[in-house]
Amino acid sequence: MEYTKLGNTELNVSRICMGCMGFGDPTNGMHSWTLDYQHSLEIIKRGLELGINFFDTAISYQNGTSEQYLGKALKALASRHDVVVATKFMPRTPEQLNQISTQNHIETMLNRSLSNLGMDHVDLYILHMWDHRSNLYDVMEGLNNVVKAGKVRHFGISNCFAWQLAEANALAEREVFAKFVSVQGHYNLIYREEEREMKPYCDLKNIALTPYPIPHTPYPIPHTPYPIPHTPYPIPHTPYPIPHTPYPIPHTPYPIQCLSQWSFS
């Protein structure tokens, strides 16, 4: 297994991160194909044996049971100091906008995740999608508060544009808040939009990229309830083609191995 620092942080992580969306009670959530605890435990154990020390879950995965399975398995199989645990939270729903502040929402969701995981802190706390309904200052202050409280070591963002990430970290720098240290975006051999702006920006700022590839699956990917608004401004054609990699992908009969090797090149 190869290891690397997670962006600008001190976290030493395996280059392969185990995503935990497939773990959780199949009767308690949006997916009926998730694995029960015993089968999840076997996969986590094998991952640890192969050198994986980086695990990514979310409170939305099967209503928190993915977090519960992961926390229980790691407690049985590993020392807390030997693993890097990331979890994610969603922004407030429209119904919650007048019920709870952004800062209190972040703390409440984190406390639920810590309870599910059976841990006193997480290494990486990820905003699952850009929060379009909240003031950016409130979001960054709320995340900075949980870092100062010692419940989170670092925080990241998933599913956003490069300009949003740049704006957020610029605000954090002005206000002396902690910054986003990682980005989790959709990226694979077919969907390569992240190469246009996000990857160059993250390379410049040494922000970690932890993409989710969504390889071929027999399970349909559900549509998001948040449609992308139509814009009258088409994306201009660039005269700069994406260069080919000089590193050929070795032949493999397994698509996921091919995808992993391409991602590392």
How do residues 103-115 score in pLDDT, each as one tens digit?
A: 999 999 999 999 9
Beta strands across the sheet bearing 152-158: 18-19, 54-56, 84-89, 122-127, 152-158, 180-184, 208-209
What's the confidence (pLDDT) of residue 34?
A: 95
What's the confidence (pLDDT) of residue 63?
A: 93
How do residues 216-245 score in pLDDT, each as one tens digit?
A: 444 444 444 555 455 555 555 555 555 555
3-5 and 12-14 strand pairing: antiparallel
Percentage of the chain with pLDDT > 70? 80
Cβ distance 120 to 82 under 8 Å?
A: no
Backbone angles phi, psi at 235, to 5 degrees: -70, 120
What's the confidence (pLDDT) of residue 213?
A: 79
Q: Is the dihedral of CA 203, 52, 65, 259 positive or negative?
A: positive
* 228 compared with 213, residue with greater pLDDT: 213
Active site residue 61: yes
Q: What angle do CA 26, 32, 35 make, to 5 degrees?
A: 50
Q: With a cut of 70, say whether residue 69 has pLDDT above it.
A: yes
Nearest CA-CA partner of 192 in 209, 169, 217: 209
Helices 162-175 + 136-148 axis angle, to 10: 60
Structure tokens at 79: 């020392």
Catalytic annotation, pick one of 61, 69, 125, 187: 61
Separation CA 126–CA 41 (nearest Å): 23
What's the confidence (pLDDT) of residue 88?
A: 97
Calculate the average pLDDT of the chain: 88
How do residues 89-136 score in pLDDT, each as one tens digit?
A: 999 999 999 999 999 999 999 999 999 999 999 999 999 999 999 999
